[in-house]
Amino acid sequence: MVELCGLELAHPIINGSGTFDAIAARRAFGEQLLERFPFAAFVSKTVTLTPREGNPPPRLWELAGGLINSIGLPNKGLAGFLAEDLPQLAELPVPVIVNVMGFSRQEVAELVQACSARPEVAALELNVSCPNVETGLVMGADPDELARLLARVRPLTDKPLIVKLTPNASDVVAVARAAQDAGASALSLINTLRGMALDPRSGEPWLGGVTGGVSGPAVRAVALAQVHAVCGAVQLPVIGMGGVQRGRDALDLIRAGARAVAVGTESFRDPAAGDRVAAELELLSASADGAQLVSPQPF
Ligand SMILES: Cc1cc2nc3c(=O)[nH]c(=O)nc-3n(C[C@H](O)[C@H](O)[C@H](O)COP(=O)(O)O)c2cc1C
């Protein structure tokens, strides 16, 4: 059992927002999915106030060590999510964490209030990787901007508020401290790193969104460094993520101070990755000589 800001998790492995579609997976795998759900909590993909189409294609570029995505947060919007998706997600055998993003403090406030009012929602995760249209500042890249956001939304809910930090900040530790001081219940990191690819034939940007977010094994060392730095600076529980493919990667993040670990990009390759990583982690943790089970090879 793992306690994460009041949630009781059967093991420390959850999913990264936007990387596992539980509703589509249930269509594909049927009731088997519920009998052996790969994660100890389910995090929804980001929900915005109004519906979004997402970015124009192409939306993905495969790297040697992961992906660049410029999906652009397509979703049904708050009303569509609450009416259609949330009742289905509530049938999952694990707590549901709803990830929300707004383009102003008022938008985030509306999302938090509406989601928090629903009993199916165990906790909220704030995706603060986008600019505030009122100030032009990325909410999660500036400590003062994040403090102002939390001052507005923290009083609106008694449920745990997890702040998902962006690695695209000059001082992630300062942002983490600001989140703690302003009443965040937990932190999650890392979100994707900004990256770009060119079409080798035309030399033009490959992605429809021009730049995108880098994820997967390519970002693992960055994630470990940021989780280590943040865990050394705050007392809040931390959900570590970034490039986790195996139990050993999860163990590294836990050794760096994370309470729970999210699996993201790896679930596209192996939809049962969450379950596998949890089993591998348990094996490593149960062994008194856990360290010896871990190969010193980097891959
Ligand atoms: C295709 C894709 C879609 C994603 N969508 C979201 C999202 O909707 N909201 C969010 O907060 N993070 C999103 N993420 C970021 C992941 O949740 C995670 O923070 C990041 O990918 C690092 O973990 P990983 O290397 O294990 O994938 C997305 C990542 C990918 C690859």
The protein residue with its alpha carbon nearest to ligand 1, atom 4, reads: 18
User: Which of 215, 238, 249, 253 is the best mutation target for the ligand 1 pocket, counting ligand atoms within 8 Å of the beta carbon and taking the most?
Assistant: 215
Q: Indicate the pTM of the whole model.
A: 0.96
The protein residue with its alpha carbon nearest to ligand 1, atom 26, reads: 264
Predicted local distance difference test score (pLDDT) of residue 136: 81
Decide if 261 contacts 254 (C-beta within 8 A).
yes
Cα–Cα distance for residue pair 128/121, rounded to 1 Å: 19
The residue extents of the domains of the chain are 2-54+71-193+215-293
Candidates 3.30.479.10, 3.30.479.30, 3.40.190.10, 3.20.20.70; correct CATH number of 2-54+71-193+215-293? 3.20.20.70
User: Which of 265, 267, 268, 276 is the best mutation target for the ligand 1 pocket, counting ligand atoms within 8 Å of the beta carbon and taking the most?
Assistant: 265
Predicted local distance difference test score (pLDDT) of residue 296: 57
Task: Describe the crossing of helices 220-233 and 247-255 by its angle, rounded to 10 degrees.
Answer: 30
Total residue length of the chain: 299
Q: What angle do CA 131, 134, 135 make, to 5 degrees?
A: 65
Decide if 229 contacts 173 (C-beta within 8 A).
yes
* pLDDT confidence tier of residue 292, bands split at 50, 70 and 90: low
Task: Cite the active site residues.
Answer: 130
Mean pLDDT of 155-169: 97
Q: For residue 287, how far is its CA from the centre of ligand 1 (angstroms)?
A: 31
Task: Please list the residues that pair with 4 across neighbouring strands.
Answer: 7
* 126-147 pLDDT, tens digit each: 999 987 778 888 899 999 999 9
* 200-238 pLDDT, tens digit each: 999 999 999 999 999 999 999 999 999 999 999 999 999
Q: For residue 42, how far is its CA from the centre of ligand 1 (angstroms)?
A: 13
* 66-105 pLDDT, tens digit each: 999 999 999 999 999 999 999 999 999 999 999 999 999 9
Q: Give yes or no for residue 273 having a pLDDT over 80.
A: yes
* pLDDT confidence tier of residue 293, bands split at 50, 70 and 90: low
* 232-258 pLDDT, tens digit each: 999 999 999 999 999 999 999 999 999
- Atom of ligand 1 at shortest range from CA of 220: 25
Average pLDDT of the chain?
95
* 26-65 pLDDT, tens digit each: 999 999 999 999 999 999 999 999 999 999 999 999 999 9
Q: Name which residue leads in pLDDT, 71 or 297.
A: 71
The protein residue with its alpha carbon nearest to ligand 1, atom 7, reads: 18
CA 42 to chain centre: 10
Q: Give yes or no for residue 111 having a pLDDT over 60.
A: yes
The CA-atom distances, in angstroms, between 4 and each of 13, 137, 185, 219, 260 are: 11, 30, 9, 24, 8
Instruction: Read off the DSSP letter of residue 140.
Output: T
- Atom of ligand 1 at shortest range from CA of 60: 1
- Atom of ligand 1 at shortest range from CA of 217: 25
* pLDDT confidence tier of residue 11, bands split at 50, 70 and 90: very high
Q: Are strands 260-263 and 96-100 parallel, antiparallel or unpaired?
A: unpaired
Q: For residue 17, how far is its CA from the centre of ligand 1 (angstroms)?
A: 5
Mean pLDDT of 98-113: 97
Q: Give yes or no for residue 299 having a pLDDT over 70.
A: no
Predicted local distance difference test score (pLDDT) of residue 298: 57
Predicted local distance difference test score (pLDDT) of residue 295: 60
Q: For residue 241, how far is its CA from the centre of ligand 1 (angstroms)?
A: 9
Predicted local distance difference test score (pLDDT) of residue 294: 60
Pocket lined around ligand 1, Cβ cut-off 6 Å: 16-19, 45-46, 67, 69, 71, 73, 99, 127, 164, 190-192, 215-216, 219, 241-244, 263-265
Neighbours of 227 (CB within 10 A): 29
Cα–Cα distance for residue pair 241/244, rounded to 1 Å: 7
Say which amino acid occupies 258. Answer: A
Cα–Cα distance for residue pair 46/90, rounded to 1 Å: 17
